[in-house]
Amino acid sequence: YIVLGIETSCDDTSVCLYDRHSRSEPARLISSLTASLDNREFKGIVPTLALNHHQVHLAPLVSKLLCPVNGPRIRPDLICVTRGPGMRGSLSVGVEFAKGLSLAWGVPMIGVHHMLAHLLTPRLLTNGSAPRFPFLSLLVSGGHTMLVLSSSLLDHQILADTIDIAMGDAIDKSARELGLNGNMNGPELEKLVRQYESSVVAGVNKALTKDELVGEFGIQVKLPMRPKPGRKQEAVFSFSSFVSMVTRGVGKKGGLDALSETEVQIIAKQIQDAIFDHVIDRITYTLSTLPKDVVARIQDFVCSGGVGSNLVLRQKLRDMFANSAMNLHFPPPELCTDNARMIAWTGIELWETEGLHSSYDIMPTAKWRIDNILGDVDGWLR
Ligand code: ATP
Ligand code: FE
């Protein structure tokens, strides 16, 4: 059967078509299209502009998918659309469009949980064979930072969550303090760090000691929530302090204009390392609190969501699990950030293993907990 995937939870309009020709082989991608919104002049996402963007682009993109230039018109058999969490206006464009198509074609539609889709992404490429339940996921995106233990398709436990902003948000804001103003600052910050590291390897810049870093060249950085006498350890993440460290550090050095290109690169490296070290530190602690028999059953670890495409983070995770038998799964970067393909795959899993689909009265759901996917919202049909 043919599956149409629609993702409009944030500011990218993304659609795709899959051919689920056999249940024993990975679904075959027919085509996928994305229209990205350029946010650069607004320093972030403006909800009404994102809404307009989806209204302008969704129908033309789907029309292009369904009417290939040299082929017959395609009519999907299943529609998978992001229902939440995300921006309500943006979500409603996709959800209402899916309802219309489902009604007109007489085919089922499924309102998909966006974070479940990020989490299941590596299974899309393996036809659900890896990772196998139970597995752990680090979901790191613009809006979420969670360590999740998934026991089955619908049973997820949040082991650690952020108490303030998400990791991607902290990266984007820190990068902005360093003068980056891209649509997505994470990859740009990663590039700055790589430039510095290459310059050290090439001998253009010398490697700095810790003291030189905080003193002459870099800024003062401190990991939050480190163990301290009298402080209770907590299984949570916290990222807001990193942004203030950059603001304060750059201010102390006389502002951004007073910094050389190399100094900016050094600070970029300091802050990126610190953010990732904090995540590793808190994952290590959180896992140490789990019962031994639970840990023994977990063989797979997924790192997904936009920040999950960062190569430094991936290496730190590999190092963390170096002495264990854990299989690590890193989806390709184009599947880490928001995309319709993960939505289509998640709909396929929900449909095939649970027989689930959605009623026509479902609402876009801005807040929807991953540890209560069925109970948190209504409108499920079997
Ligand atoms: P959510 O999924 O929580 O609703 P979102 O959909 O906005 O949030 P994603 O598209 O999954 O988030 O990820 C976007 C985030 O990932 C941005 O903050 C971006 O800067 C970050 N990001 C993307 N690539 C990289 C990278 N290579 N290094 C670090 N961060 C990155
Ligand atoms: Fe996302």
CA of 125 to the centre of ligand 1 (A): 21
* pLDDT number for residue 3: 98
DSSP SS3 for 49: helix
* pLDDT number for residue 227: 84
* pLDDT number for residue 358: 98
Atom of ligand 1 nearest to the CA of 11: 7
Counting every residue written for the chain, the total comes to 382
* pLDDT number for residue 277: 96
CA of 73 to the centre of ligand 1 (A): 34
- Among all bound ligands, the one having the nearest atom to the CA of 335 is 1
Chain-centre distance of CA 204, in angstroms?
35
CA of 154 to the centre of ligand 1 (A): 24
Contact 154, 374 (CB under 8 A): yes
* pLDDT number for residue 207: 80
Atom 29 in ligand 1: which residue has the minimum CA distance?
Answer: 186
CA of 306 to the centre of ligand 2 (A): 7
CA neighbor of 7 nearest in space, from 49, 61, 47, 73: 61
- Among all bound ligands, the one having the nearest atom to the CA of 342 is 2
CA of 256 to the centre of ligand 2 (A): 31
Contact 149, 136 (CB under 8 A): yes
Ranges in the chain, pLDDT < 50? none
Protein residues with CB under 6 Å of any ligand 1 atom: 9-10, 86, 114, 141-144, 168, 171-172, 184-187, 190, 305-307, 309-310, 337-338
Please give the Cα distance from 87 to 345 (Å, whole number): 22
CA of 336 to the centre of ligand 2 (A): 8
Please give the Cα distance from 172 to 188 (Å, whole number): 9
Considering the entire predicted model, what is its pTM?
0.92
CA of 244 to the centre of ligand 2 (A): 25
Contact 307, 167 (CB under 8 A): yes
Atom 4 in ligand 1: which residue has the minimum CA distance?
Answer: 143
Contact 273, 246 (CB under 8 A): no
CA neighbor of 342 nearest in space, from 77, 5, 95: 5
Atom of ligand 1 nearest to the CA of 85: 4
Tokens representing 300? 């797979």
Contact 2, 75 (CB under 8 A): yes
Atom of ligand 1 nearest to the CA of 168: 18
- Among all bound ligands, the one having the nearest atom to the CA of 184 is 1
Mutation pick for ligand 1 pocket among 315, 316, 337, 365 (CB with most ligand atoms within 8 Å): 337
Tokens representing 193? 């760090």
Atom of ligand 1 nearest to the CA of 167: 18
Atom of ligand 1 nearest to the CA of 311: 27
Tokens representing 244? 């203030």
Mutation pick for ligand 1 pocket among 37, 184, 339 (CB with most ligand atoms within 8 Å): 184
* pLDDT number for residue 206: 81
